[in-house]
Each structure stands twice: as C-alpha cells, then as structure tokens.
A and B are shown apart, each in its own frame.
Chain A
Amino acid sequence: METDKCSQCRLCQQYCMVARAGGESITTILSGDSETGAWNCSNCWKCVEICPEDIDVYEVMMEKRRQEPAPVRYKRAFDSVCRIGYVYPVDEVNTFREMWGLEPIRLVDPKVVRKLLGRPWAGDEE
C-alpha cells in the first residue's frame, strides 16, 4: 500500500492548514490521530509537495473518500456534473456572455459526460 511508506514524520500535518487549525484531515488520518477527515481539504497540495517518502497523499485521500458517503456539497457538485456536465449552473451562460460582449459558447452534451463516467441514465441511448 502507498501508505506503508509513511515514516510518521508528520511534516504533512505541519503544512496542512486544516490540521494547524485543530481539525481532522488526511494528514491526521495518516498519523493515526484520527479515522475521519478525508473531506476536509483546502486542495493546496502542500502535503504532497513536502512528503519525504513521495507518498501521493492526494490519491490516498481520494481512495478514502470513494469508500465514504460524500458531504452534501460534494454530492451536489458531482450530481451536477452527471446532470449538466459541469459543477456550476450554466443554463444562463450565453445570456451573460452577451451582456459582457463575449461570443456564445456551445456547451457539452451531458450524455457525453455520463458516458465518460460510466454512469448512463435511462434514455441516454435513445
């Protein structure tokens, strides 16, 4: 396992803004100080950058997340990607673009995104 390389030096924890604020994160999971916290991440990548054992802390965190129920905002964001192809709402995008003087843009067909993620909906093949 990737985490077998961990020498418990806790450098990642020293650089983690969540751990420094007293919270649980992937860095406290790695040190055995907590079992939870895989979703509490600022996405700063300092843990990956500093790790002397070159552990892919991000991938370890993602594997852990995939085994857990997602917090509501992550779940909503992922559902949005499956529904419309993007995290943020895009239905009024071309109206806004026109207001700013930008050319209209063609959005992705969400069926394509669902196919890429292997999550087809009933009716996608029609």
Chain B
Amino acid sequence: MNEIEKRLLFPGCLVLACFQDYELAAKAVMRRLGMELVDMDDFSCCSSSVVPSMSDDWINLDAYNLGLAESRRMDIVTLCGSCTRTLKQANKKLKGDAALLEKVNERLAEAGAHYNGTVRVNHLIEVLDEKRSLIEKMERKSLDYRVALSHPCNVIRPSSVAQFDDPWRPQKMRKVLEAAGVQVVDYELEYECCGATLLMVNEKLALDAAAAKMRSAIEAGADALVVSCGNCYMLLDRFRHKIQEAHPEISLPIMFLPQVLGQVLDVSCRELGLELV
C-alpha cells in the first residue's frame, strides 16, 4: 500500500489563534484527498508585513520556519495570504543568493537552526488544484447554495514570487470548486482586495472596501462568500457588526474554502468546524 503523502501545515498565528475551524476543515478535506497535513511544532511568526516594517532581519524568521520543515523532510502548506507570500519571497531570495543564505544561516546557527534551501511552499489552493482531477472523479453531494469568491491577494501577487495563477484574474480557486460541482457566481468586485490589512491603520477604509465587495457579491446572487485567508475572514466576518453599523442591509455568510469543498465531499460538519465537538 502506498504511504499517505504528508506535508507540514504552517497555520500562521491568526489561524492558530482565531480560526481553528479553518485548520480543522483543511486537514479533513486534504485527508479525504489522500494527504495528511502534519502539525508544525515550534513554528514562529511568518514575519508578515509587520516585521519587515520594523526590521531588515525579517528574512531570518522565514528561513527559520523553512529550516524547520527541511529538518522534518516535508514541504509546507499554508492557509493565509501573507504567510504564503512571505515564506515564498524569502525562499526565492535564499535559493537564488548563496551569500545571503550563508549570512542568514550564521544567525540561524545562534538559534540552533539551519536551512539549505530545499523546501517548497504552497498555499492550500495550490494543493487543491493539484488534486482537481481526483476531486472530479469522487462521489459528490450537490450544494443548495451559490458562492462568490474572494481571492487572497498575497497568494497570487507578486506573480514573480507566487508563480501560480493569473495575478489579475485568478481562476484556480474557481476551477477547484467547479471541479467539485459548486456553483460559482461572477461579481463585479471579485478581483478587488478586501482591504483587511488596512484595519491596522485606517479602519473606515477597510470597512468600506469590505462592504462594497460584499454588496457586489450579494447583487450578483451569491449566497455565501468563500475566502482562503484568515485576514480576509477577519475583516469580512469578525468585523461584520462594524460593517453593518454603516451598511445594515449587508448580510452574507463567509466560509473558508475547505468548508465548502468538504460539504461537497460529504465530510461531517464537525470535521469541517461547522459545529463544535
């Protein structure tokens, strides 16, 4: 019997702290598709856009995390946009610059870590896209709702780092869901940024951007908005009360990609984080 494929799950601290349902659902769906997402003990902050704003040592954090995966002989799967981009960005720099890699390893050595540059990083959408033909062949349940998509900016841009999908009109998330028979609706603001990072500096602008995007999806006939990044979910779902203060008519359920896919693949609601144990 073939051994099940294993990859290391880099949850990121936002998913770790707030969105256990996303992690649970991602693990359950990938298990159904023949892949085990293994917990990444000792992972640290990905550096996000926070650390490089204050320190040019940010790359050491990513190198440390990549080194952890390397020591466990596994590639990394990510769940958020920023974690994906920053890990890929660091990986590209380190793989392409031997002098930088050596310098970073000097610092890593002080922390008892090392990185040789052998790890691959992929966001969940990419991994699901690899399994698309399998999804098409699997027994599937049909859903009685239609979804619109919110694409995680940092998974597709910059394209020189992402090396995945169209950077302006990304299609992979749609292709994965359509392979599963999910009805996906187009909407005018589909390819606009949700604005979540602006919560750090200009809450009103973030809330207005979110409201416009949600209104556009509602007008196009979506019953739910699908995200695949904790930051998007944070703004669109957890700031719902604030969005509704200014726009009380806006009401749209927000779901994580594997929660929708898992329903099609008949994974239980408990395993999808749609009900507590």
Contact = CB atoms under 8 A, between A and B. Distances in A.
Contact of B53 (A18, A40, A48, A74): A74
Nearest to B39: A105
A10 interface: no
Contact of A90 (B13, B54, B56): B13
A116 to B, nearest CB: 4
A66 B40 CA distance: 31
Contacts, number: 171
A33 B49 CA distance: 24
Contacts of A112: 42, 44, 64, 111-113
A39 B201 contact: yes
A106 B11 CA distance: 13
Contact of A42 (B112, B195, B276, B277): B195
A123 B54 CA distance: 23
A71 B44 CA distance: 23
- Which secondary structure dominates where chain A touches chain B? loop
A40 B201 CA distance: 6
A106 B42 contact: yes
Contacts of B81: 43
A32 interface: no
B24 A45 contact: no
B20 A88 contact: no
- Which secondary structure dominates where chain B touches chain A? helix
Interface of A: 17-18, 21, 23, 39-46, 48-49, 58, 62, 65-66, 70-71, 73-74, 77-78, 81, 85-90, 93, 96-97, 99-103, 105-109, 112-113, 115-119
A49 B209 CA distance: 20
A32 B42 CA distance: 44
Contacts of B208: 21
Interface string B50-81: 11111111101100100000000000000001
Contacts of B122: none
Contacts of A106: 41-42
A111 B268 CA distance: 40
Contact of A49 (B18, B58, B159, B192): B159
Given A41-B49, A78-B50, A113-B44, A86 B201 contact: no
A23 B107 CA distance: 39
Contact of B54 (A41, A49, A66, A86): A66
B167 interface: yes
Contact of B111 (A23, A101, A102, A116): A116
